[in-house]
Amino acid sequence: MGPTIATVLCADWAGSARGREVFSAVVGERSVRRIPVPAGGWDVEAAVKVARDCSTTGGVLLGFDAPLGVPRSFWEAATAGLDPRPRHFAEWLHGLDPRFFDTVPGREDWSIRRPFFAVPHRAEGGLTAFVRAAARQRVDLWRAVDRRVGGKPPFVVAGIPGSVGSAARDLWRSLPPHRERGEVGVWPFDGSIEALLTNNKVAVAEIYPALAYARALAPQAVPRGRKTDREWRERVFSLLAAANWIRQFEVSLPGAGSVSSGDAFDACLNAAAILRCALEGSPLAASDVDPVAEGGILCEDSAMAPITHPKATEADLLNAPKDGRKYELVDGEVVMSPAGSRHGAVCARLITRLGPFIEQRRLGYLFDSSTGFRMPNGNVRLPDVAFVARGRFEGGKVPEGFSPVAPDLAVEVLSPDDRPRHVLDKVGEYLDGGVPLVWVVDPKTRTATVYRSLTNVRTVVEDGDLDGEDILPGFRCPLADIVAE
């Protein structure tokens, strides 16, 4: 990194303007701090204004946590026949039809002219349906850099965790006027970072949190966890504060309270990672970026890539903290499920009503949320309440470890922080795994959703009953008794 960089601004670009965060790193001061959110929230114009204000003291690097580039195969298809053909991605953005940014209603509507989409549930084909739709047009939805770092396709606006399409289209719509006025240059399309900092004063580039975590903490490994878990964020932040390079350069970090949200955490770690590169004189990016179509991501270099962790195993789940929280093994990660006091009360009421009914009739076994059930896809799920009929366990004995058989009834009690998509995915796993009856109880709305399949679904309102049907014949319980405050 040359001496031309004075300030780093890193923007975590959530879909909503009010959910966005921007942190700065001032190289000369060796400090990282949070930039207060403007009255109307962050948008590209506000971020560029702050960058331009900072440029009076030297070059500014403005990083956005959103894709700046498209897959090479998409580029070839989208620009074929254009006359004149755009030289690169940043130039191509200036001529896009506004309808390009609309979300297509279904996979059959996907095209290079309308590529943005929301991922449907697995029963409707999930992401695979759109991957196949794009493949039929000889387009790969991932950039090479997305695959290297484990990123999501740039066109996905919703439906999967970590989708970046909403942020991408906001950035792609908003950047061209600032570039046209010469206020910013976009790396690597408009030139090298050093050249842009010299000529434009503000260089816009793509950043990616996972790479920033690794760069900021190296050689310390990034602990497993998710940024939605406040305890995990606090742990990572404490590791950053104790890092040798922070002490060596006497870097001033913001208080831990300034990273109380996942968005602020990402922006802070990105700013710290780029500050480290500037202070140590290390490369900001890999040497093989694509300056025409795909672009590149800061902090992706040969020393940091690939940034992956071994998949978590059942042994890791067994070693999860014994802190009273529920941990599950999901897609190779140990994930904490949110809960609360009311959640626990509802679970307890269900158990006190189901337990005597099952025991008196010797129907089988009732389990609380500490019991893990192996799913066919390799996940281990812990329903809040589960029932397994007598005779289903081998030898008639409850196993010591995770259950190899799926429950006959799985109950999930929603918490305020539960995401509907995640809950529906879990229900789908239960049904795919052979669970014939699933109850999802929502204390907030005082309703329960009963699933026999993804197409055989009914809702129980507060004055209705939870019915054991053929799984627990004769069991009926007023839902009002369960969800009462």
Q: Tell me: the pLDDT tens digits for 401-427?
A: 899 999 999 999 988 767 666 788 889
Boundary (domain end) residue, out of 309, 332, 363:
309
Predicted confidence band of residue 151 (pLDDT cuts 50, 70, 90) = confident
Instruction: Indicate if 304 and 407 belong to the same structural domain.
Output: no
Q: Tell whether 196 and 139 lie within a shared domain.
A: yes
Model pLDDT, residue 303: 39
Helix or strand run (H / E) with residue 46: helix 44-54
Are 289 and 338 members of one domain?
no
Q: How far apart are CA 50 and CA 72, in angstroms?
A: 32
Domain termination site, one of 309, 329, 352: 309
Q: Residue 68 region, left (φ>0) first, then alpha (ψ -120 to 50), else beta?
A: beta
Which pTM does this prediction carry? 0.66
Does 211 lie in the same domain as 348? no
Q: pLDDT tens, 303-327?
A: 344 444 457 888 888 887 777 778 8
Are 408 and 477 in a shared domain?
yes
Q: Are residues 208 and 172 in the same domain?
A: yes
pLDDT at 122 over 80: no
Mean pLDDT score, 174-194: 95
Q: Which two tokens stand for residue 435?
A: 């669970």
Contact at 8 Å (CB) between 24 and 35?
yes
Q: Are residues 284 and 354 in the same domain?
A: no
Helix axes of 44-54 and 165-180: crossing angle, nearest 10 degrees: 50
Structural domains in the chain (count): 2
* Among 11, 51, 37, 45, residue whose Cα is nearest residue 173: 45
What H or E segment, with its residue span, contains residue 420?
helix 420-432
**Which among 252, 285, 309 is the end of a domain?**
309
Q: What per-residue confidence (pLDDT) applies to 338?
A: 66
Domain match, 375 and 405 both: yes
* In a shared domain, residues 191 and 335: no
Distance CA 392, CA 405 (A): 8
Same domain as 224, residue 346: no
* Domain shared by 1 and 106, yes or no: yes
Q: How confident is the model at residue 2 (pLDDT cuts 50, 70, 90)?
A: very low
Q: How far apart are CA 78 and CA 145, in angstroms?
A: 19
| Residues 319, 205 share a domain | no
How confident is the model over 350-371, as a mean pLDDT?
Answer: 95
| CATH number (domain holding residue 341) | 3.90.1570.10
Domain assignment of residue 164, given as a range: 1-309
Residue 2 to residue 195: CA distance in whole angstroms: 10
- Largest Cα separation within the chain, whole Å, is 81
